[in-house]
């Protein structure tokens, strides 16, 4: 590892993207992620890169579509209402199999909601907010260090599979100052871009980037190809942290910033003789189903703690498959659960 700096989460995302070789950023301002745009506006000229403030999130995601078609590593970032506007473009990018990275620093909804931290876009991200049978890789960091590492990985994953990769965080993570240690050199995995529309130079047949297949047989084949790719990603790219899970009374499952709170709860509970384990999905899609299957009969119960009305808990239930009860505790509207609240819930379940 190399340089160690104290930096704001959002700025780390931007810096990580630059280090991963991203020279194209298109976005539209929205709190709580605008620092990404500020950073890019300042730094892109230094690397001969491009920063464009688009007229809307709709335009920004379509600029991403064009830039990705032209073979570039490209980033856009936004927060919930803006991500909703990007859904049309995300579906097209998925259909056309273009690589790109999208950051969603989630805020509370529905509607304009509020700017405080939330995890209420889990469904939108992992079940597909746009139309059609598509998936995107969704990575949920829980520290600024992880924001950096996962952002770099996101570009490699996007290129490798020609897929949309989303970094999903919240305002706590985006606004938080934390130490981050940068590598001296990033591993930028080279990807085949012979399909990109860069001009034929009269040396090859023309390339076409499209998501439309009018012939039903061809469209079904195209969909089958996408599904096969998603299966491969499930096998290769699932990421999870399993913490303190040897003979726990209960396993809490949480992602992103909530997992940090849970780790503190684990310490407090230990003093009271309660053993809590944590399964923290790092990739929300692909979901670490196998890890849950492995631990399904280990604790007395599972508890999913989320900043929403109960979204990831559905995937936990599917994975645990009735072998143990799966409970839920959530706060909404930008409210954050205290350690005591979570511990009280644990005691109530174990009673």
Q: Could you list the residues that contact another protein (CB under 8 A)?
A: 24, 26, 50, 52, 54-56, 58-60, 62-72, 74, 88-89, 92, 96, 197-203, 206-212, 214
SS (H, E, C) 228-266: HHHHHHHHHHCCEEEECCCCCCEEEECCCHHHHHHHHHH
End-to-end CA distance of the chain: 46
Question: Apex CA 300: angle with CA 327 and CA 285, to 5°?
Answer: 50
Cα dist from 292 to 315, 319, 347, whole Å: 10, 6, 22
Q: Please tell me the distance from the alpha carbon of residue 233 to that of residue 101, in angstroms, as a whole number.
A: 16
Q: How would DSSP label each residue in 128-171?
A: TSSSSS---EEE---SHHHHHHHHHHHHHHHHHHT-EEEEEEEH
**Rg over CA atoms, the chain:** 21
Listed in sequence order, the residues at least 6 apart from 318 whose beta carbon sits closer than 8 Å to its beta carbon are 289
**Count of Cβ atoms closer than 10 Å to residue 190 Cβ:** 8
Backbone angles phi and psi of 220, in degrees to 5: -65, -40
Strand partners, 103: 77, 167
Q: Indicate the SS3 state at residue 117.
A: strand
Q: Calculate the CA 340 to chain-centre distance.
A: 28
Strand partners, 170: 106
Q: 216, exposed or middle or buried, with CB in 10 Å at 0-12, 13-18, 19+?
A: exposed
Q: Please tell me the distance from the alpha carbon of residue 207 to that of residue 192, in angstroms, as a whole number.
A: 14
């Amino acid at each position: 590892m190399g340089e160690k700096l104290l930096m704001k989460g959002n700025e780390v995302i931007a810096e990580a993207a630059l280090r991963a070789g991203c020279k194209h950023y298109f976005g539209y301002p929205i709190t709580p992620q605008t620092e990404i745009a500020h950073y890019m506006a300042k730094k892109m000229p230094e690397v001969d890169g491009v920063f464009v403030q688009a007229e809307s999130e709709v335009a920004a995601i379509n600029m991403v579509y064009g830039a990705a078609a032209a073979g570039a590593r490209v980033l856009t970032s936004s927060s919930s209402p803006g991500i909703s506007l990007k859904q049309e473009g995300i579906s097209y990018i998925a259909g056309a199999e273009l690589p790109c990275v999208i950051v969603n620093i989630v805020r509370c909804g529905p509607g304009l909601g509020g700017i405080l931290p939330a995890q209420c876009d889990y469904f939108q991200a992992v079940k597909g907010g746009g139309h059609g049978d598509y998936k995107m890789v969704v990575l949920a960091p829980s520290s600024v260090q992880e924001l950096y590492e996962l952002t770099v990985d996101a570009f490699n994953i996007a290129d490798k599979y020609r897929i949309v990769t989303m970094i999903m965080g919240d305002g706590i993570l985006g606004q938080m100052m934390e130490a981050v240690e940068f590598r001296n050199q990033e591993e930028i995995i080279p990807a085949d871009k012979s399909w990109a529309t860069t001009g034929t130079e009269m040396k090859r047949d023309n390339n076409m980037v499209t998501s439309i297949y009018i012939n039903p047989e061809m469209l079904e084949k195209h969909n089958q190809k996408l599904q096969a790719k998603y299966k491969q990603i499930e096998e290769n790219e699932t990421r999870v942290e399993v913490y303190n899970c040897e003979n726990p009374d209960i396993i809490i499952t949480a992602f992103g910033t909530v997992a940090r709170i849970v780790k503190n709860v684990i310490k407090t509970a230990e003093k009271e003789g309660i053993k809590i384990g944590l399964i923290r999905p790092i990739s929300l899609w692909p979901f670490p189903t196998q890890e849950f299957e492995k631990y399904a009969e280990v604790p007395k119960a599972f508890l999913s703690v989320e900043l929403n009305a109960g979204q990831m808990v559905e995937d936990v239930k599917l994975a645990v498959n009735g072998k143990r009860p799966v409970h839920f505790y959530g706060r909404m509207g930008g409210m954050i659960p205290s350690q005591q609240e979570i511990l009280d819930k644990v005691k109530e379940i174990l009673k």
